[in-house]
Amino acid sequence: MPSWLTLLIAPFIVLNVVIGLVTYVTLLERKFAARMQSRIGPYRVGPHGLLQPIADALKLMMKEDVVPTAADRRIYNLAPIVFLIPCMLIFATIPFAPGLGVADVNIGILFFLAVSAMEIVGLFMAGWGSNNKYALLSAMRAVNQIISYDLPFIFSALVPVLLAGSLKMSDIAAVQQGSPLKWFIFYPVIGQLAFIMFIVSTLAAENRVPFDILEAESELVAGFRVEYSGMKFALIQLGEYAHMIGSSFLGALLFLGAWSGPGPEYLGPIWFLLKAMFIFLVVTWIRWSFVRIRVDQILALSWKALLPATLGLLITTAVVVVWRTSGF
């Protein structure tokens, strides 16, 4: 087999698995959300609504593709793709099991953080290109928010990096193998604090409730994607969910020990997936528990509370790590 072919096969598989996962995660979220509101959720399509994501996808494919007359056509048409690519790229560096991943580069975390922040480009293109005031307002809010929350997000993600002493994802996971007590979430005080801050800033970076001012269902309709329909809308949704799942995988890798778990080694990816789904469900749980926070409160929370807290935590972690390794 030529080497370029092997280089293509792994990303192809990962891409398809991720897309399949994302479509079914929407069902999971809908079912979970429904149960939290004492409803049943999708039920009619297939047994217990199991075919609902496929029906949704088919419906979106058959929809008419509407482009607003006043839209900036080129930007408008390009935006969903530009939005989707970084959201898919973040899966490149995640190792799903020892040696099972697309590219386990030695600066994996850095790549992940950098690329996941790039989705804002596509998002702003969508808001600008639609030539719709709601979309533009939403895109500007998103830029505002993502700039504010990327710093706490990165700082809280760097705490496990410091504890593990490596930017390579598989190294961070390898340090946490063995017993669950080695997971960084169980690292006394620092681990729990970092995990909470990570969840909060993930929520904000993914624009989820209670930080969903850019979508703000009651005021901005669907936010920056209000003018999109059909497959373009589907691509944007796909990107959002892919980003969310990618962040869940990152959280599971950084704090919950990635593929460590009971049973033989080949169960590792399953454990990893379960942990990622756990984080995803926690995020959904938060979504249905809180109301939306005002814009100024969101910014205040980031700049006045979360940023100093994560920075302080990072410095404390550094001190602790140096103290423990050098022993003075």
Partner 1 sequence: MASEVRPRTAESVEADLKVRPYETVRRYEATEITTIVRAVLRAMGATLKNLFRKPVTVHYPDKERQYPSRYRGLLALTYDKETGEENCIGCRLCEYVCPPAVIKVEMLKSEKRNYAKTFTLELYACEFCELCVQVCPTDAIVMMKSFDMPTADRREMLLDKDRLHAIGLQYEQSWATGNRLRDMQTPPKAPAPAHAPKPAATTQGSADPGKSGADPVGPRVETV
Judged by CB under 8 A, which of 16, 106, 179, 289 binds partner 1? 289
Angle in degrees, 0-180, between the axes of helices 230-255 and 190-205, rounded to the nearest 10: 170
Question: Quick check: 312 binds partner 1 (CB under 8 A)?
Answer: no
Judged by CB under 8 A, which of 22, 27, 32, 203 binds partner 1? 32
- In sequence order, the 6+-apart residues with CB closer than 8 A to the CB of 318 are 162
Question: Quick check: 303 binds partner 1 (CB under 8 A)?
Answer: no
Question: Quick check: 34 binds partner 1 (CB under 8 A)?
Answer: yes
Give the span between the Cα atoms of 204 and 255, in whole angstroms: 19
Question: Quick check: 297 binds partner 1 (CB under 8 A)?
Answer: yes
Give the span between the Cα atoms of 296 and 294, in whole angstroms: 6
Site track for partner 1 across 248-287, x = CB under 8 A: -------------------------------------xx-
Judged by CB under 8 A, which of 7, 8, 17, 35 binds partner 1? 35
Nearer to partner 1, 139 or 306 (CB): 306
Give the span between the Cα atoms of 192 and 184, in whole angstroms: 8
Nearer to partner 1, 16 or 289 (CB): 289
Judged by CB under 8 A, which of 37, 69, 325, 326 binds partner 1? 37
Whether the Cβ atoms of residue 190 and residue 161 lie closer than 8 Å to each other:
no
Where residue 301 falls (left for φ over 0; alpha for ψ -120 to 50; beta otherwise) is alpha
Task: Name the percent of the chain in helix, strand, coil, to the closest 5.
Answer: 70, 0, 30
Judged by CB under 8 A, which of 24, 186, 278, 288 binds partner 1? 288
The interface with partner 1 within residues 42-101 (CB under 8 A) comprises: 43
Compute, in degrees rounded to 10, the torsion defined by CA atoms 175, 180, 185, 188.
-90
The minimum distance between CB 118 and partner 1, in angstroms, equals 31
Q: Which backbone phi and psi does 97 adopt, to 5 degrees?
A: -160, 170
Nearer to partner 1, 200 or 256 (CB): 200
Judged by CB under 8 A, which of 19, 28, 36, 107 binds partner 1? 36
Nearer to partner 1, 175 or 209 (CB): 209
Whether the Cβ atoms of residue 248 and residue 276 lie closer than 8 Å to each other:
yes
Residues in contact with partner 1, total (CB under 8 A)? 16
Contact positions vs partner 1 (CB under 8 A)? 32, 34-40, 43, 285-286, 288-290, 297, 300
